[in-house]
Structure 1
Amino acid sequence: MTSIAHVMIPHGFGGAEKHVVELAGFQADDHQVMVILGPGEDGGVGARHLAEALDPRVSVVWLPARLRTAALFWKLLALCPDIVHAHLNTAARRVLRCRPGCPRVVTLHNGFRAGLHDRFDGIIRIADYQARLIPAAARQRSITVHNWVLPLTGGLSRADARAALGLPADAAVIGGMGRLEVGKGFDVLVAAYARLRAHRPDARLVLFGQGAEMAALRDQAAQLALGDGVLFAGFRPDVRRYLPALDLGVVASRHEPFGLTLLEYADAGVPVVATRTEGPLEILGTDHPFLCPPDDAPAMADILRAALDGRVPVPPIDLTRFRPEVQMGRISALYAQLTGAPSSVSA
């Protein structure tokens, strides 16, 4: 049994945080697992959501808001894990400063940063394209482990999901979900939706999530006179239950390293419109008909209209390689290589 310490200082609750919750839960089948959490720029909201979602077999260790590096050093010294796995850059910097005396692994949730990630003993890429961004010496210590999506269970029917959200049964419903921040491009999606309404007055837009851009997005919707056409549904831990309400799911990011929401839409049977950014290109392929340039509201509006009107066939997305049973073995093998312990896989 290996003692594993995941370290994360979330600034919200999104794809990276969901991944840590599920990874720690799978590993708890065979190992002693702890997640060391500290409050991020959101005042600790994301960290609390993450802690509440963890498997009860996973231990939660809290860092204070101040002097987090010193606190992490003493926590790791007392806990003596066999491996430390950092997630997101804030945690990665603190793990490096602590020099915990055991192998250190980092996952590139937001891309590679020279001088930071190349100092880790093991590097987990979330997509194959990231290998091109890593210098040759560090690339030899890296592997690809795609983010995964668990099959949806307990989802609502289309009618029940729409009723729960207060949406008309016969509306054309477009959805976006994630942290409401500039990089996720929700302002572009709102602008595209405003253009779409001229042709599809029956269309509605639902935004799931919370974040720093919430007030700005509400102001934008008001300035565009969108009225009740835009529903701000807020953060919902069980958001996937409501996805059957959608006719289209949108990933509008200006930069998207992976795009877990894309997989969640696909698993719910919802066609996907995405920006032509790194993650969606790897998942969907370059010839997917519902790709548009980032930061281009007119182009996105045209694609939304074509998709809703049925003028372009909806291609299926093969989720086989994005299931945990395919990916977990790679993480286990990397840990075993670094610690010298036998590899074990549960998913």
Structure 2
Amino acid sequence: MRALSIVHVVFSSRIAGGEHHCIDLANAQAALGHTVHVIGPAGSAVRHALDPRVSFHGLHLPLLRGARVKRLAARLGADIVHGHLGPACKATAAATSSARVGTLHVGYKTHHHARLDALVCVNSAQVDRLKDFGGLHRVIYNWAPERSSGTCASKAPSGSLRMEFGIPATAPVIGCVGRLHAAKGMHTLIQAFQRHAPADAHLVLIGEGPQRAELEALRGEDKRIHLLGFRWNVDELLGEMDLYVSSSREEQFPLAILEAMRARLPIVATATLGAREMLDPAQSAIVPVDDAPAMGQAIAAALEERHRNARQPVVYDMDRYDRSTAVRATLALYQDVIARQGATVQGLAGLSVEDARG
């Protein structure tokens, strides 16, 4: 495969699942010798998580982003422009001099994705929702992101979670990672925890977002519930937990579940598209969305089982979620899009010649 010039576009200032995926993909592609750029807001935290071989281009104002992405991609000689999340995919569609790809981190929307040349579906259910899409598509599963030891990771608090919050060594710890937003369902998780978890259990919420004040109010005086804010050392924190809970109302392919699987934790998850595709019901508890009693009962049962089997790790089949396989599949999709565009151009040129002869 020849070296490509690849431009990723992600318009988030914070880092959550889709941004993590973009960062890790860009870093992996640069490590393989491709020329990789990322376009995002000038003050984005994404910039500091990128490999030094990846160039970041900051946009200072959120105006005319499609036209600016188009000009910048042309100046950089981009073979591929790859959008992540809806607004970035919409801007990517304007880069008509390059092959345009989008990843469906959230889901297909005609006004964001229909004009792209190819789409990466992160679960198989998304394929059935591409009825008006005429480009290529592939199902390429995400992977648990690599946690670099670079600038951002070095700023993360390190050491014992239990020591930081005074949690006894024998107390069960339940964790959840995600943005503090209503879509993540953490208010339901707090309710489920308070009503059904053992009295000595602790709940750790890792992430930041607009719902923090609401969640703090819901927590009240319960000292067992800890809102850690954003942390980079997620793998280290998961290593001290007894149970992971994904409480989201909607998830296409949650990276946090993959991280919990990599940590070999038992998992309770709401029945989102992503969780249903990723988890085997024989190994994990899948409960209805927004159902605090069902979630709470599943948490209590999982902790009881965890105690009964002496914290035996859960071994998940992670072969489908291999980073190098997914990176290669993404690059292969790029090549297919480029080849398809080349064939179209040649076909149009042939038609022009025939027209001229006629």
TM-score between both structures, scaled by the size of structure 2:
0.84
Write the mapping of 1:1-347 to structure 2, written as runs, cut at 5 A. Answer: 1-10=3-12, 12-28=14-30, 29-38=32-41, 44=43, 47-48=44-45, 50-69=46-65, 70-96=67-93, 98-135=94-131, 138=134, 141-149=136-144, 160-197=160-197, 200-222=198-220, 225-226=221-222, 228-286=223-281, 288-310=283-305, 316-340=315-339
Query: Does the CA-based 8 Å contact 1:77-1:100 persist in structure 2?
Result: no
Moved more, 164-173 or 186-195: 164-173
Unaligned runs of 5+ in 2: 150-158, 341-358
Q: How far is the alpha carbon of 1:74 from its aligned partner?
A: 3.0
Cα RMSD between the aligned structures? 2.4
Q: How far is the alpha carbon of 1:73 from its aligned partner?
A: 3.3
Q: How far is the alpha carbon of 1:72 from its aligned partner?
A: 2.6
Q: Structure 1's 80 and 153: CA in aligned 2 closer, same or farther, altered over 3 A? A: closer
Q: Structure 1's 182 and 164: CA in aligned 2 closer, same or farther, altered over 3 A? A: same
Query: Does the CA-based 8 Å contact 1:12-1:211 persist in structure 2?
Result: no
Q: Structure 1's 110 and 153: CA in aligned 2 closer, same or farther, altered over 3 A? A: closer
In 1, distance between residues paired with 2:34 and 2:95? 22
Query: Does the CA-based 8 Å contact 2:73-2:95 persist in structure 1?
Result: no
Q: How far is the alpha carbon of 1:287 from its aligned partner?
A: 5.1
In 2, distance between residues paired with 1:53 and 1:246? 26
In 2, distance between residues paired with 1:119 and 1:32? 25
In 1, distance between residues paired with 2:241 and 2:15? 22
In 2, distance between residues paired with 1:202 and 1:230? 11
In 1, distance between residues paired with 2:280 and 2:101? 29
- Secondary structure of the structure 1 residue equivalent to 2:251: coil
- Percentage of pairs with the same residue: 34
Runs of 4 or more above 4 Å deviation: 150-154, 286-289, 311-315
In 2, distance between residues paired with 1:95 and 1:194? 45
TM-score between both structures, scaled by the size of structure 1:
0.87
Q: Structure 1's 92 and 239: CA in aligned 2 closer, same or farther, altered over 3 A? A: same
In 2, distance between residues paired with 1:232 and 1:33? 36
Q: Structure 1's 285 and 134: CA in aligned 2 closer, same or farther, altered over 3 A? A: farther
Which of the pair has more CA radius of gyration? Answer: 2
Unaligned runs of 5+ in 1: 342-347
Query: Does the CA-based 8 Å contact 1:13-1:179 persist in structure 2?
Result: no
